[in-house]
Each structure stands twice: as structure tokens, then as C-alpha cells.
Amino acid sequence: MDGPRSDMGRWRGSPTTPSPEPEPDRDRDRDRDRRSRRGGARSFWARCCGCCSCRNREDDDWGPEPSGSRAPGSRNRGSSSWNRRTESRGSGVNAAGDGTIREGMLVVTGVDLLSSRSDQNRREHHTDEFEYDDLIVRRGQPFHLVLFLNRPYESSDRMALELLIGNNPEVGKGTHVIIPVDKGSSGGWKAHVTKASGQNLNLRVHISPNAIIGKFQFTVRTRCEAGEFQLPLDPRNEIYILFNPWCPEDIVYVDHEDWRQEYVLNESGRIYYGTEAQIGERTWNYGQFDHGVLDACLYILDRRGMPYGGRGDPVSVSRVISAMVNSLDDNGVLIGNWSGDYSRGTNPSAWVGSVEILLSYLRTGYSVPYGQCWVFAGVTTTVLRCLGLATRTVTNFNSAHDTDTSLTMDIYFDENMKPLEHLNHDSVWNFHVWNDCWMKRPDLPSGFDGWQVVDATPQETSSGIFCCGPCSVESIKNGLVYMKYDTPFIFAEVNSDKVYWQRQEDGSFKIVYVEEKAIGTLIVTKAVSSNMREDITHTYKHPEGSEAERKAVETAAAHGSKPNVYATRDSAEDVAMQVEAQDAVMGQDLTLCVVLTNRGSSRRTVKLHLYLSVTYYTGVTGSIFKESKKEVVLAPGASEQVTMPVAYKEYRPHLVDQGAMLLNVSGHVKESGQVLAKQHTFRVRTPDLSLTLLGAAVVGQECEVQIIFKNPLPITLTNVVFRLEGSGLQRPKVLNVGDIGGNETVTLRQTFVPVRPGPRQLIASLDSPQLSQVHGVIQVDVAPASGGRVFSEAGGDSRSGESIPMASRGGA
């Protein structure tokens, strides 16, 4: 179904145990040096420049490859090539390889990559927010640099720039880039002299729009009548190259500046959860520009063993990221856990951003416990935005998990409409969070460019591993489930039907009800340029009930394992049923209500059964803890309400993550035989944290924030942990505050030092065994430091496990 393209999510021989710092292969380097010395080897200039390929061998023999001393076993984690250090920046190699500098040679004594965050390069490439002092540029766009020479540059001098990535760079694979200066374009790369002033040479270098992304080593070769010189590789001259959504020639190009600002440059966002009727939202710190995050993103590709030659393809890169953000198969970033027991790690609800997770993975090489769908999606947004892909975090409410490729959600009941749980393998998640990323799809027919779904939550395998996508949203919308990648699974998540099957007396099953609007009822994301919620359901599916929507579903179902499912459909009905749940806060009593309406002209008698249980957001339910049975007589055109009150003391012992409950309602109309069935999920809300800024925020100056929380429960919260972080404000910080009594109010204060100006988000969470999913956020408008400094090297501590005394405690 995926077509001839090989799977880009897995490569043979990729590491299965943490190995963040491999030893260098010295034998390989010696072999490469020997090859470069062979008399029959093609010269450097013959390989890079056609006009130089006819010179005699004496003129063309440039000697050995770049050399320099390596620190034993050293490699910058996340970098894409070995660091080669030299004793001094000005030393180099000549044609003889002995380091002798002869009179008249053109020697590069230094390089200025103009890599400061305030320099032209970083501003023009939209990388000035990265908390790095290295040169970070985007492909398909020029950058500037200055070479310092031992003498003025002359017209007879020849010069080439080189970029190398990987352990075995090759010109043919794009991992060894050679750019002759003032010699025209070379595979989309070119370099020109913009100014020659004394012994300084200014160059403008244009990057190919198809370049590999990653961290490149940089060197310069010169040649003149006096001899040849090569600048040693120096880690201070390494260059990061990223995808470029500002470049029309890059297949990740986005033709909306406000989209680029939101989906590439915004460091925080909103993630939605809960149920369609009771939508919750939380702010997430993506932190893609925080120091170390870019290295962590590149380290993820290294850990997967992704070939460097494939790292220029966003389809391949996004597929690898979907596999690597979860830990299954490959010891990736996050360990998924839906058990409710998080004692060996962090409750997924307690995370407030991606930075702490990614830096822990980079630092230790071990998968981080624990994640659930919104955490996987938040981290994926961080990684893809960091690498230059326009990405958004998407929530699908009533998201189906189709386990048998039927493209329907099948629920089985016995003769009395009691659920047959041993047959109910499909599940409907209250919500599921994944990602959309924007790119062209040259591997698909025309018409499938644009938003592509990538889902890092490990649900089902794809080509044998736990990854999902990229899948064109347009193919999902039209039910074209034969398009790669993983379209059938994602289509079923958003646009399948819920089919109720009842066992008959002879043991066979019959469809008694089809709920056509139960799956993918609402698909949302954060709006561009605001914190409002945007409904994007229309991009995934045609209007419910429309001819186009029905055609898409039935076309897709024809490719599933049950293509004739609609042939046995029986839809006669004149009694309608609606379920409602009041909005309640954790710790309060609540009331459920079922409304029956007789739309026919005859009296109807309905036998109604209500079963209440707790449920995880993944659709996995606990045992029934309350039930009710009632017979209702409906006159023609009449409506009747059936209520079920639920006290806090009844549901408290049973609550699980997210505070969600599931009401199963089934009924039978005595006169007509009509079957009624409805599953209604609702949640009890948790309180918010109140954050207040105490004083103005200025770059480099200490600032204080106050956090207030009131325990809504009559019981003590034990082992309470706060988390606090915000890009440009505070590195991830964990605060242990001990116990909080029943209905008690607590206040704590924390200081932080802003490092970047502009509007920032400071995000906090609270977690305890008795209460989770408690969050708060405040916008902090940071002024530049006095004296004109835009950035500060100071930063909020990333302290973990600090015990914090309460500033004050109050009663209810």
C-alpha cells in the first residue's frame, strides 16, 4: 500500500542501546589518507571544477585530505561530523602535507563567519533567536563570511570552500560540498568575492536549496604558483544548515509570513485536550531555540542511524522523527506510559515543555519517562520547528483507534445490549494529539502537497516499526487510503463510523445502529498570531452528512477488511437520544442527563440502561461503579429527561488520569424494536495555577514571579511537585514543595533572569499522586538590557529536585 519507496523510518544496523559518544574510527581515516595519496586518484580540482580537470598530474596533486589532531573519543553530541582541533587557527597544510608555508603561498590565517546572534547572517536567516554563537543558516539562501589572509588576494589565486558532514564524506552523496570561488554554480552552491580589502576577503556563499541539513565542518583551500594551502578543520568554524520555509526553491517553502512566524518561529503554543463538549487547553513551551535543543534534534537523527545523504529530504526526516520521538524499536526520546503508575519517572501531565525532555535525552542517551500523546506531539513540534519545518500541534476529539483495518469502529453487544468487552478491540480516544507539517510531496502524484500528518505516539506499527506519516491531509479528506504513508489508520482516526453490532439468537451479529458523527467530531489547533482555538476539521474531512463525506468514507471502507459493512445497515428510527453532563470541578458533585425525544406520531416505550465507569483518555475503561435502569413512556412529539446524580464520594475512589468518565447508554423501543446506543465521555475540571509577575522584566536582571494554588479537594495532596520553564526566561526547573492540606491555599515565589527580550511565556504545572493536570501561564514582556545588549549569557538555573518552602499558606 505504501508503494515502492523504501521505509525511511528504520535502517539496518542502527544502534539499539544508548551510545551517545562513539569512538572515532582511526583505521578508516588512515585508509582515506592513503587513498588521497595514490597517484591514480582524481585531484581535488578535477573533481570539483571542470575547467581544471585537464591539468597535468603534478599540477593537480593536492596531497592529503584535511588533517588535524582529534581529542580521543571526542565528538559534539548532536553534531554530524568529527571535531578536529588544531593548535592554532593560522596553521595549515601544503601540497607536501608537512605544514611548511612557503613564501608567496595564499594562507588563510583566520575566518569570521559573522555568526553572532546580532549579525546580518543570523538575522537574515531567521536564526537569531537560537541561543548559540555558531553560524546557523537556512538552505537556499546566501550568507556572508570574511577570510583573513597573509597577503592580498590576487586575480591569479584560486580558492575553494569545503563543507563536510558525516564520518565518510562523499561529493556524490552531498556530504562533501566543494564550492570554487567565482567559478559559477556547483549543484546550487556558489561563492563570490564581494570585497577585497588589503588582507581581508569578503565572500557571499549561496547554499543549495536541496542541501543536507545538519552540522557541517568548514575549510578553505587555496592554490597559487607558490603552492597549495588548506585551512585545518576547527570546531569554532562549524556551520549548522537547516530547512528554509522562506525559500521558494525549498520543498518546505511556506507562502505566508504569518504562518512562518507561528509555525516555525513561535516558541510556545496551546495544546487542547479533554472532550469535545469540555475542551481543556494548556500552554506548551516548545523551546526550539534554547541552547542544546538543536544539538539534541541532530542527535536524534544520529541515534536512528539515518544516512546523511537522506537528510535533505523532509519526507524522510519527518518519518524518522515520528519513529524516534517514541522509545519503541529504537530507544528513542520518550517512553510511553498509560498505566497510571508513574513512580519511576514523570507523570506525562506534569511536563510543561519539550526542553527538559530533549536535553535529558541528549545528556544521558537514555529514553525519558514518561510521555502520552500530547507530550509526543509537543516534542515533535519542537524538533521539526527547530530543523526548519513549519509544524503545528493538532488535537482530534473522539479519535478512533482501528485495530483491524475495517475503517469502522466496531462495538459488539449481546442479545440484551450488554457490551461484549472481549470482542471490543477497537477504541475511541477522548482526544488524540498529533502534528501537521508543511511540505511538498514529490513522491506522490500532484495535488497532495501542503499539510502532512506526522504522529509520534506509538499506536500501531508501520512497515514493522512504531512510526506514522507523513501522510497528506488531502488524501485523508478524500478517503484515498492507498496513498503513503499510513493513510488508512489516520483516515479511521478522523472520519470512520461507529458501528454497533448486536448478537442474534443464532449467534450471528447484526448492525443495529450506525453513529455517523461520532468519530473526528472536532479537529483543532492554535490559531495563527493569537491564543485562540482554530477549528481545522474542514481540512481533514468534508462536511458531515454531505455527499462528498459519505463518498470518502465508503470509498475508504471498500479498501478495508470489511468492504460490505454498509450492505447490512438498518437505520429505521423515530426516537432520538441526547446525553448531557454538567460542567463540574474536581471535588464537586455532578449530574448526568439523558434526553429522549419521540419524533414519531405514535406512543413509544423505551427501556433505558445507564452504566457509569471511569475511563482513560485512550478509551480504556474501568469497571462500572454506578448504574441505573428506567422505563420511559413518550407521547408523540414529547421529550423526557432521565437524570443520574453522582456524588464526589462515589467517583473519587475510581478516578484515573484526566479525571474522565464514560456513560454507556443503551435502550430498546418496545413498539418498533429500535435500538438506542450512545457512549458519552465527560471530565471533571482541575483548577488552574495563578501566576503574577512582581516587577518589570529586563534582560539580564533578576525578576520574581508569584504562584498561588488552592487545593480543591478535602484531602491532603502529598509529594507535590511544581515545574517552571519558559524560553528566554527560565530553564526547566523542578520544585518539591511537600504536602498541601485539604482545601488549603499556598503561595510560593521564584526568581528568574530573562536572557532574551520580547513577549515570552512562563509556564508552570503542579503534580501529586492525588491531583494532576494543573497548569498556569503568564505572558512576560521582557525589555532589552540597558546599554543596548539584546541577549544575555545569564540564564535561569536548570535545577532539579529543589525543595521550596512556601511563602504563605491559607485556609479554604
Q: DSSP code of 775?
A: E
pLDDT tens for residues 550-592?
Answer: 778 777 767 665 555 554 545 457 899 999 887 878 888 999 9
What's the mean per-residue pLDDT of the chain?
Answer: 83
CA-to-CA separations, 762 to 331, 732, 750, in angstroms, rounded: 31, 10, 12
Stretch 35-61: mean pLDDT: 36
Q: What pLDDT was estimated at residue 502?
A: 85
791 pLDDT band (50/70/90 cuts)? low
Give 185's contacts (C-beta < 8 A, 6+ positions apart): 206
Judged by average pLDDT, the poorest of 82-86, 96-100, 389-393, 709-713 is 82-86
Bind-site residues for Ca(2+) = 495, 497, 544, 549
- Exposed, middle or buried by CB within 10 Å (0-12, 13-18, 19+), for 758? middle
Q: Cα–Cα distance between 55 and 46 in angstroms, integer?
A: 8
Amino acid (one-letter) located at 134: D
Stretch 528-549: mean pLDDT: 91
547: enclosing H helix or E strand: helix 547-558
Q: What pLDDT was estimated at residue 573?
A: 76
Backbone angle region of 387, left / alpha / beta, with phi > 0 → left and psi within -120 to 50 → alpha: alpha
Q: DSSP code of 263?
A: I
Q: DSSP code of 186?
A: B
CA-to-CA separations, 16 to 327, 362, 370, 697, 783, in angstroms, rounded: 10, 16, 19, 45, 46
Q: What pLDDT was estimated at residue 49?
A: 39
594 pLDDT band (50/70/90 cuts)? very high
Catalytic one of 52, 247, 373, 386: 373
Q: Is pLDDT of 736 > 90?
A: yes
Q: Cα–Cα distance between 275 and 200 in angstroms, integer?
A: 63
Catalytic one of 432, 542, 668, 680: 432
Q: Is pLDDT of 330 > 60?
A: yes
Picking from 655, 657, 688, the residue whose alpha carbon sits closest to that of residue 282 is: 688
- Which grid cell is 303? 541515534
Q: What pLDDT was estimated at residue 565?
A: 53
Q: Cα–Cα distance between 568 and 500 in angstroms, integer?
A: 12
Picking from 720, 353, 587, the residue whose alpha carbon sits closest to that of residue 707 is: 720
pLDDT tens for residues 264-313?
Answer: 999 999 999 999 988 999 999 999 999 999 999 999 999 999 999 999 99
Q: What pLDDT was estimated at residue 729?
A: 96
Domains of the chain (ranges, CATH numbers) = 108-242 (2.60.40.10), 261-270+280-558 (3.90.260.10), 575-683 (2.60.40.10), 690-782 (2.60.40.10)
Active-site residue flag, 471: no
Picking from 153, 150, 236, 151, the residue whose alpha carbon sits closest to that of residue 201 is: 153
Stretch 507-512: mean pLDDT: 89
Q: What pLDDT was estimated at residue 417?
A: 72
Q: Cα–Cα distance between 68 and 424 in angstroms, integer?
A: 64
Q: Cα–Cα distance between 226 and 639 in angstroms, integer?
A: 99
Q: Beta-carbon neighbour count of residue 688 at 10 Å?
A: 16
> Do the beta carbons of residue 84 and residue 32 sit within 8 Å?
no
Q: Cα–Cα distance between 243 and 384 in angstroms, integer?
A: 10
Q: Cα–Cα distance between 499 and 261 in angstroms, integer?
A: 42
Q: Cα–Cα distance between 578 and 641 in angstroms, integer?
A: 10
Stretch 193-209: mean pLDDT: 97
Is the previous residue joined to 651 through a cis bond, with omega within 30 degrees of 0? no
31 pLDDT band (50/70/90 cuts)? very low
β partners of residue 676: 667
Higher pLDDT, 41 or 237: 237
- DSSP reduced 3-state for 103: coil
Apex CA 689: angle with CA 684 and CA 691, to 5°?
155
**Percent over 70 (pLDDT), the chain:** 81
Q: Is pLDDT of 522 > 80?
A: yes
Q: What pLDDT was estimated at residue 71?
A: 32
Picking from 325, 311, 368, the residue whose alpha carbon sits closest to that of residue 344 is: 368
Say what the alpha-carbon torsion angle 250, 251, 253, 254 is, to the nearest 10 degrees: 180
pLDDT tens for residues 612-661?
Answer: 988 888 887 778 899 999 999 999 999 999 999 999 999 988 888 777 88
Judged by average pLDDT, the poorest of 19-28, 171-180, 575-584 is 19-28
Strand order in the sheet with 590-598: 575-581, 590-598, 639-646
- Exposed, middle or buried by CB within 10 Å (0-12, 13-18, 19+), for 293? buried
Backbone CA torsion sign across 412, 416, 421, 423: negative
809 pLDDT band (50/70/90 cuts)? very low
Q: Is pLDDT of 43 > 50?
A: no
Q: What pLDDT was estimated at residue 666?
A: 86
Is the previous residue joined to 24 through a cis bond, with omega within 30 degrees of 0? no
- DSSP reduced 3-state for 320: helix
- DSSP reduced 3-state for 491: helix
Bind-site residues = 495, 497, 544, 549
Picking from 656, 660, 592, 603, the residue whose alpha carbon sits closest to that of residue 628 is: 592
Length of the chain: 812
Write out the DSSP string of 334-363. EEE--SS--TTS--GGG--BSHHHHHHHHH
Q: What pLDDT was estimated at residue 811?
A: 40
Q: Cα–Cα distance between 485 and 229 in angstroms, integer?
A: 49
pLDDT tens for residues 61-103?
Answer: 333 344 333 333 333 333 333 333 333 334 455 544 556 788 9
φ, ψ (nearest 5 deg) of residue 106:
-90, 105
> Do the beta carbons of residue 716 and residue 666 sit within 8 Å?
no
Q: Cα–Cα distance between 312 and 308 in angstroms, integer?
A: 8
Q: Cα–Cα distance between 443 and 6 in angstroms, integer?
A: 11
- Which grid cell is 504? 442474534
pLDDT tens for residues 445-493?
Answer: 999 999 999 999 987 765 666 789 899 999 999 888 889 898 888 988 8
241: enclosing H helix or E strand: strand 239-242
Picking from 145, 151, 67, the residue whose alpha carbon sits closest to that of residue 108 is: 151
Q: Within a 13 Å sphere around the CA of 26, how many CA atoms are in the beta-carbon half?
A: 8
Active-site residue flag, 49: no
Catalytic one of 60, 134, 313, 455: 455
> Do the beta carbons of residue 84 and residue 70 sit within 8 Å?
yes
Q: Is pLDDT of 14 > 60?
A: no
Q: Is pLDDT of 116 > 90?
A: yes
β partners of residue 705: 693, 750
Give 343's contacts (C-beta < 8 A, 6+ positions apart): none
Q: Cα–Cα distance between 32 and 36 in angstroms, integer?
A: 6
β partners of residue 391: 437
Q: What pLDDT was estimated at residue 306?
A: 95
pTM of the model: 0.84
Higher pLDDT, 809 or 132: 132
In 200-311, where does DSSP find H-type helix? 257-260, 293-304
Apex CA 309: angle with CA 305 and CA 311, to 5°?
70
Stretch 19-44: mean pLDDT: 39
φ, ψ (nearest 5 deg) of residue 42:
-70, 140
Give 296's contacts (C-beta < 8 A, 6+ positions apart): 78, 358, 359, 361, 362
Q: Cα–Cα distance between 145 and 434 in angstroms, integer?
A: 40
How does 187-208 read in b/e, with b if 16+ C-beta sit within 10 Å?
Answer: ebbbbeeeebeeeebbbebbbb
Active-site residue flag, 657: no
Q: Cα–Cα distance between 166 and 382 in angstroms, integer?
A: 24
- Which grid cell is 772? 494532576
537: enclosing H helix or E strand: helix 537-540
Higher pLDDT, 86 or 212: 212
Residue with cell 440502561: 609
> Do the beta carbons of residue 363 and residue 798 sit within 8 Å?
no
Q: Beta-carbon neighbour count of residue 797 at 10 Å?
A: 13
Q: Cα–Cα distance between 76 and 74 in angstroms, integer?
A: 7
Picking from 673, 705, 678, 681, the residue whose alpha carbon sits closest to that of residue 779 is: 705
Q: Cα–Cα distance between 273 and 686 in angstroms, integer?
A: 12
Residue with cell 516558541: 267
Q: What pLDDT was estimated at residue 94?
A: 52
Give 564's contacts (C-beta < 8 A, 6+ positions apart): none
> Do the beta carbons of residue 641 and residue 608 sit within 8 Å?
no
Backbone CA torsion sign across 442, 445, 450, 456: negative
Give 787's contacts (C-beta < 8 A, 6+ positions apart): none
